[in-house]
Chains A and B, each alone.
Chain A
Amino acid sequence: MTDVTLSPGKATAAVKRPTGASIGPRWSNALFVAPYLAFYLALLVYPLFKGIWMSMLQSDMFDDTSKFAGLANYYRLFNDKVFIGSVWNTIWFVVMTVPAFVAIGLLLALALNRSDRTSATLRAIFFGTSVLSVTIVTIIWKMMYMPGNGAIAGIMRFFGMEPLAFTTTASLALPAIAITTVWWIIGLPMMLFLAALQQIPGELYEAAALDNASRWRSFWSITMPSIRRTLLVVVIYEIVAQFQLFGQALLLTQGGPNNASRPIVLFIYEQGFRSWNLGYAAAASEILFIIMAVAALAQFFASRKRVEE
């Protein structure tokens, strides 16, 4: 333990003393975490603080200067109708999608929690769309939503209805993005619920069956209490994930019509990389960060409790 050799990795068999690894702290052990820490500091911690600093700058990209402006960017954000609108759009999107992910995910998991081949194939179908990238998913759904030539318009015409212009109608744009998103990544909540259902001891249901409990009854008194924690994890995970809505909105509606479907991340992207208002965009991203950090920490504590149990 008092060994002063700083690189135990170079110890050779010729040395008789115990120069190999020893239990207890020594600074050379830090070499294992150093490579990752370098990336962590350079590309996460540093940009985090740089971003906070940038959010307090008024940048002028024409002469490449910027001056300290304190909280002016934040003040401007709270008075920016487009930004406030994007916050509400994002919240509305989360409110639409998270319950859908929980309800549909759980229903599919309950129906497909069996070990036959049909169920396995069906699980593969519902999960399969998740591996596609957002750009492919939005092409597919453009072909569904197109007002003139889209599949949904065709179906509506078949039933004698007037086709709706989903992506260009203010009240329908965000729901259309929500439907696309649920279709795209329903597989994850389904799989998480399936994993939870398989943890429930079968004896519980056998006992309930002996008591003549109805399916409905055993669902509420056995299934739901047993998957409570997974339910919480899914809810928090989806809140965090759906708050980051970006690609679907950019590619399906460009945030329109009339800002009706612009989420926060799209606002940040447009301010930062189309208008080059870097300070302003950085301030918006800090607000998003605060909202999401709260949710992420909740997830951390929820899943840690689960592990401890």
Chain B
Amino acid sequence: MAASERIVGRGIGNKVILASVVLVAIVWMLPIAWVLILSFKPNSELMISTASAFHPPYTLKNYTDIFQTSGVFRWLWNSAVVSVGVTVGILILSSLAGYGFARAEFKGRDVIFILVLLGLAVPEQAVIIARHQIFSDLKMHNTYPAIILPGLSSAFGVFLMTQYFKAIPKDIDEAAMLDNASRFKIFWKVLLPLTIPAQATLGIFSFLGAWNDYLWPLISATKPEMFTITVGIASTQTNFAQSEGLGFLMAQAIFAGLPVFVVYLFFQKYIVRAVAGAAIT
């Protein structure tokens, strides 16, 4: 809000810049607008040409087809289960571990913390072959736990929560210790409520990540009824020409994108903060 913010760009130059960014933004939106329009066109027309996009007839058939024929609802449900599972799991594990690494001393703690931090450098792709093998050996593929559990091993949340717990003044828990409260009680009643902003950041970040994850669910869930929405939409995409057609494919994309987009519109500020905060920590 400071007036100084605006000193960099002022006057006419400022307006020109803003106008050109508006122009770029319109171009940025074009691909989505294009798909949105086409999704209301009858399939028979689309197969011949998309040139008629701006003339009637328009139809809702592509959308009503979703309700009748596709697995979209099942996939949305699977995505919801998986994303909530990953998010809740990460929040619980990271909060406990974050408190532990920041406050509860035990022998070898700092060495273990450094080893966990090294885990941040391990990309999913480096372990995915072995992970697949582990879940194969356990005969667990095509189950919710198989899709959820690998996400819980990520060191990122632990790192974030540890930093956050460390930033809380020590006087707060020392006062509680004098009251003879147990470690867990201090964690649960005194410190955890103070970490709600970090929980929100980590929660949003984890949920979006799990919702949009493609590689692991693609490998682990091979039965259509266990697909997440991301994998499901991809599966219709690879054989769209033969079966359902373009219009149906686009209607599915719009329909599947809608929930996330609505959530984004409502929680925009928090989502931006979560994703940006997650990248720099």
Which positions in A face B, CB cutoff 8 Å? 8-11, 13, 18-33, 35-37, 39-40, 42-48, 50-51, 54, 108, 110-115, 118-119, 122-136, 138-144, 146, 148-151, 154, 183, 187-188, 191-192, 195, 198, 201-203, 205-206, 209, 215, 218-219, 223, 230, 233, 237, 240, 244, 246-247, 251, 264-265, 268-269, 272-273, 278, 281-282, 285-286, 288-289, 292-293, 296-297, 300, 303, 306
Contact = CB atoms under 8 A, between A and B. Distances in A.
Contacts of B46: 149
Interface in B9-59: 9, 13, 17-18, 20-22, 25, 28-32, 34-35, 38, 46, 49-51
A202 B129 CA distance: 51
A29 B233 contact: no
B3 interface: yes
A51 B30 contact: no
A136 B158 CA distance: 31
A256 to B, nearest CB: 13
Contact of A205 (B4, B94, B150, B276): B4
B109 to A, nearest CB: 7
A192 B279 contact: yes
Contacts of A297: 121
Contact of A136 (B125, B180, B233): B233
Secondary structure at the B interface, as helix, strand, loop or mixed, is helix
A21 B181 contact: yes
B80 interface: no
Contact of B183 (A21, A119, A128, A202): A21
B221 interface: no
A299 to B, nearest CB: 9
B93 A51 contact: no
A39 B93 contact: yes
A299 B28 CA distance: 30
A191 B276 contact: yes
Interface in B186-230: 186-187, 208, 211-212, 214-215, 219, 229-230
Given A18-B180, A35-B97, A48 B122 contact: yes
A48 B127 contact: yes
Most buried by A among B3, B13, B153, B155: B153
A124 B269 CA distance: 9
B105 to A, nearest CB: 4
30 contacts: A9-B183, A19-B180, A20-B181, A21-B176, A25-B106, A28-B183, A29-B183, A36-B158, A37-B97, A39-B152, A40-B119, A51-B129, A113-B5, A125-B28, A131-B260, A132-B261, A133-B233, A139-B252, A139-B253, A140-B31, A140-B35, A143-B34, A143-B35, A143-B50, A149-B49, A202-B2, A205-B4, A240-B123, A251-B234, A268-B129
Contacts of B93: 35-36, 39
B228 to A, nearest CB: 9
A288 B37 CA distance: 41
Nearest to B229: A133
Nearest to B14: A114
B132 interface: yes
B73 interface: no
B129 A54 contact: yes
Nearest 8 A/B pairs, CB to CB? A202-B4, A32-B100, A29-B104, A289-B126, A47-B130, A20-B180, A43-B153, A36-B97
Contact of A151 (B30, B233, B271): B30
Contacts of A149: 46, 49-50, 246
B234 A135 contact: yes
B172 interface: no
Given A11-B182, A140-B32, A188-B276, A43 B25 contact: no
Interface in B135-155: 149-150, 152-155
A177 to B, nearest CB: 14
A281 B130 CA distance: 10
